[in-house]
C-alpha cells in the first residue's frame, strides 16, 4: 500500500441500521475498506482567479441573445419549443434609498435580479460557452429548470473550505450512496454506475461543487420529487467512520437541499457568480470529466435517453429498505416545512439547557418576533437552512409592517443581531435573501415557535392571556 494510502483514514460507510439489507453496501464493506476506494489524493487545487468589473443595469442584448426581465415575458415574446434551453443571467441595479431606510451599513442598496433568454439547443449553448472561453470572456449562464421539463439527478454541495481536501472522497461517497439508495445491484447496474459528472469551483473561502448523474433521469419536477425528499432525508443518516474521529455525517453537512424548487436556477459549466459589481472567476464551475465524452452531460437539463438507467419506483425502494418506508410514513404525517426542511429539525440542535417557559401572551407580532429571535440558538445562524427560513420570517414581518419605518428598523436590527453571530456575516447578503423571499410563500412567527419547541424539549409556550374563551352572550346572573 502506498504511503498516501497509509496516511488516509480507514473509512467505513453506514446508512443507518436498515441499509445493511443491500448487498452492494455489504460488498463494499466486506471486500475492501473504503480507504482503498477513497484514498486517492484530491486533485482539487487553487486556480488563478481574478475579478472582472461589470456595468450595472439591465441590458436587452448581450452574449448574442435578446434578454427579458421575467420568464413570462420571455414566453410571451419568444417562440419556445421543447428543444429550447432556457437560461438566466444575473445583473445588478441601484435601488432607491427610500426603499431601504433601515439598512445599517449606509443608505441605498445595490440589488440583484435575473434576466431570461433561450438557446435553441444544448449544442448551441455549449458552443456559445466555448466561444466565451476562446475569447477569454466570462459568462453567468444559469440553467432554468422549469417545472414541466426533464432533468437528471443533480446535487449542489457547499461547505467549509476544509472539505476541499476531501473533495474526491465526498464525490465517491455520494456516488455510493446514490447507488445504494436506488438498489443498483438488484437492478443489474455495472459497478461504476451511476457515473457522476462533477463541476467544481476553486473558492478559497468555501467548498463548492455540482455533482450530476446523467444516467438518473426524471421526466419533470413531479417525477423528481417522488424520490428527492426520501433521498435527501436518508443522506442525513449516512455516516463515515473515521479512524480516531468516530462517525461523521459528511453528506448532511455539504448537501444543499434548497436547489429543488419548481422553478430552479442552476449555474452551468464555466459560469461565475456576480457580486458587488464584479464577476469572481474563483466561483467558476469547471467540469472535471463529462460522461462518455459527451460535453452536454455537464448540463442538469440535458437528458439523453440512451444513457438512462432503469429506476425502481418508490414503493419498491421502501420495500427493500425499511428506513425509507419509515421516512415516507413520517412525511405523510408532517407539515410541509418539516418534509422539506428535515435538517432544521435535526436532533443536533436540541439541548436541555434552554428556557422552560415562553410567554407570548399579550405581545404584538413585532414583540413576539423579537422575543423568539432572541431565543434562537447562535448555532442556527451558521446553519444555511435555518438562516434561509428565518430570513423568510423576517421578510414576512417587514411586509406586515410595510408602512411603519420604526417597526421595520426594529425588525431589521433584530435579524442582524441574530444573523451577525455567523462569522462571515454580510448585511447586504442578508438583505438580498430577505427581499428575494418576497417572491415566495414565507413562514411567520409560528415557524419560530416550532423551532424553539424543537430545540428546547419540554418548552411550554403560552400564546394567549386567557386559557379559555368568554362567550359573546353571557347568561344573566340570578338575582
Summarize pLDDT for 269-283 with one digit per residue, the tens. Answer: 999 998 878 898 889
In this structure, the strands spanning 357-359 and 460-462 are parallel
What total number of domains does the chain contain?
Answer: 2
Same domain assignment for residues 249 and 158? yes
Beta strand ranges found along 273-382 (DSSP E): 273-275, 278-280, 286-287, 357-359
Domain closes at, from 332, 365, 400: 332
* Residue 218: domain span: 61-98+107-332
Minimal CA–CA distance to 395: which of 428, 341, 366, 436?
436
Same domain assignment for residues 312 and 353? no
Residues of the chain with pLDDT > 70, as a percent, come to: 77
Domain presence at residue 467: no
Same domain assignment for residues 352 and 326? no
| For residues 282-307, average pLDDT | 96
Domain presence at residue 363: yes
**CA pair distance 15, 38, nearest whole angstrom:** 17
Same domain assignment for residues 212 and 155? yes
Question: 180-213 burial string, b = 16+ CB within 10 Å, else e?
Answer: bbbbbbeeebeeebbbbbbbbbbbeeebbbbbbb
Same domain assignment for residues 186 and 323? yes
Same domain assignment for residues 172 and 136? yes
Summarize pLDDT for 231-267 with one digit per residue, the tens. Answer: 988 887 777 665 566 667 788 888 888 789 889 999 9
With the C-alpha atoms ordered 310, 316, 320, 322, is the resulting torsion angle positive or negative? positive
Lowest mean pLDDT among 8-17, 191-200, 209-218, 323-332: 8-17
**CA pair distance 194, 308, nearest whole angstrom:** 9
Chain-centre distance of CA 434, in angstroms? 16
Same domain assignment for residues 282 and 411? no
143: three-class secondary structure by DSSP: strand
Residues 6 or more apart in contact with residue 136 via CB below 8 angstroms: none
Summarize pLDDT for 362-420 with one digit per residue, the tens. Answer: 899 999 999 999 999 999 998 888 898 899 999 999 989 988 989 999 999 999 999 99
Summarize pLDDT for 172-216 with one digit per residue, the tens. Answer: 999 999 999 999 999 999 999 999 999 999 888 889 999 999 999
Domain presence at residue 9: no
Domain presence at residue 32: no
Same domain assignment for residues 327 and 369? no
**CA pair distance 162, 471, nearest whole angstrom:** 62
Same domain assignment for residues 140 and 261? yes
**CA pair distance 283, 469, nearest whole angstrom:** 57
**CA pair distance 252, 45, nearest whole angstrom:** 23
Domain presence at residue 226: yes
Place of cell 446553519: 383
Same domain assignment for residues 321 and 352? no
In this structure, the strands spanning 197-200 and 61-62 are unpaired
- Of 54 and 272, the structure prediction assigns the larger pLDDT to 272
- The cell numbers describing 35, all together, are 480507504
Domain presence at residue 191: yes
Containing 214, the helix (H) or strand (E) segment is strand 206-218
Strand partners, 92: 112
For residue 49, what pLDDT is reported?
58
The whole model's pTM is what? Answer: 0.72
- The cell numbers describing 411, all together, are 425588525
Q: CA dihedral defined by 122, 82, 311, 156, rounded to 10 degrees?
A: 50
Domain presence at residue 1: no
Amino acid at each position: 500500500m502506498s504511503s498516501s494510502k497509509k496516511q488516509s483514514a480507514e473509512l467505513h460507510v453506514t446508512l443507518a441500521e436498515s441499509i445493511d439489507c443491500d448487498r452492494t453496501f455489504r460488498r463494499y464493506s466486506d471486500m475492501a475498506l473504503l480507504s482503498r476506494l477513497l484514498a486517492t489524493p484530491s486533485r482539487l487545487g487553487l486556480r488563478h482567479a481574478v475579478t472582472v468589473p461589470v456595468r450595472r443595469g439591465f441590458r436587452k442584448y448581450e452574449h448574442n441573445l435578446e434578454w427579458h426581465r421575467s420568464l413570462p415575458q420571455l414566453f410571451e415574446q419568444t417562440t419556445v419549443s421543447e428543444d429550447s434551453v432556457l437560461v438566466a443571467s444575473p445583473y445588478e441595479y441601484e435601488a432607491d434609498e427610500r426603499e431601504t431606510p433601515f439598512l445599517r451599513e449606509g443608505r441605498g442598496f445595490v440589488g440583484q435580479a435575473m434576466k431570461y433568454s433561450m438557446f435553441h439547443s444544448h449544442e448551441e449553448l455549449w458552443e456559445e460557452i466555448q466561444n466565451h472561453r476562446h475569447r477569454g470572456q466570462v459568462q453567468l449562464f444559469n440553467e432554468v429548470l422549469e417545472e414541466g421539463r426533464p432533468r437528471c439527478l443533480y446535487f449542489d454541495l457547499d461547505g467549509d473550505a476544509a472539505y476541499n481536501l476531501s473533495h474526491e472522497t465526498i464525490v465517491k461517497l455520494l456516488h455510493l450512496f446514490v447507488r445504494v439508495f436506488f438498489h443498483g445491484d438488484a437492478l443489474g447496474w455495472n459497478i461504476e454506475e451511476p457515473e457522476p459528472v462533477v463541476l467544481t469551483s476553486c473558492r478559497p473561502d468555501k467548498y463548492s461543487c455540482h455533482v450530476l448523474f446523467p444516467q438518473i433521469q426524471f421526466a419533470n419536477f413531479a417525477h423528481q420529487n417522488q424520490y428527492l425528499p426520501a433521498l435527501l432525508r436518508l443522506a442525513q443518516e449516512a455516516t463515515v467512520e473515521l479512524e480516531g474521529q468516530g462517525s461523521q455525517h459528511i453528506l448532511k453537512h455539504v448537501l444543499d437541499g434548497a436547489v429543488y424548487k419548481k422553478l430552479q436556477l442552476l449555474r452551468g459549466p464555466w459560469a461565475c457568480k456576480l457580486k458587488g459589481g464584479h464577476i469572481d472567476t474563483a466561483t467558476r464551475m469547471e467540469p472535471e470529466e463529462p460522461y462518455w465524452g459527451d460535453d452536454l452531460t455537464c448540463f442538469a437539463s440535458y437528458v439523453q435517453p440512451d444513457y438512462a438507467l432503469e429506476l425502481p419506483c418508490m414503493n419498491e425502494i421502501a420495500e427493500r429498505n425499511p428506513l425509507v418506508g419509515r421516512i415516507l410514513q413520517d412525511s405523510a404525517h408532517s407539515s410541509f416545512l418539516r418534509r422539506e426542511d428535515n435538517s432544521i429539525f435535526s436532533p443536533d440542535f436540541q439541548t436541555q439547557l434552554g428556557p422552560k417557559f415562553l410567554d407570548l401572551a399579550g405581545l404584538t407580532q413585532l414583540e413576539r418576533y423579537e422575543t423568539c429571535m432572541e431565543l434562537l440558538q447562535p448555532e442556527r445562524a451558521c446553519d444555511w437552512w435555518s438562516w434561509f427560513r428565518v430570513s423568510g420570517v423576517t421578510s414576512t414581518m417587514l411586509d406586515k409592517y410595510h408602512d411603519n419605518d420604526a417597526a421595520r428598523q426594529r425588525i431589521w436590527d433584530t435579524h442582524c443581531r441574530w444573523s451577525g453571530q455567523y462569522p462571515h456575516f454580510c448585511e447586504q447578503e442578508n438583505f438580498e435573501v430577505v427581499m428575494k423571499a418576497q417572491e415566495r410563500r414565507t413562514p411567520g412567527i409560528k415557524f419560530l415557535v416550532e423551532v424553539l419547541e424543537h430545540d428546547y424539549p419540554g418548552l411550554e409556550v403560552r400564546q394567549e392571556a386567557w386559557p379559555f374563551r368568554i362567550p359573546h352572550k353571557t347568561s344573566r346572573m340570578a338575582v
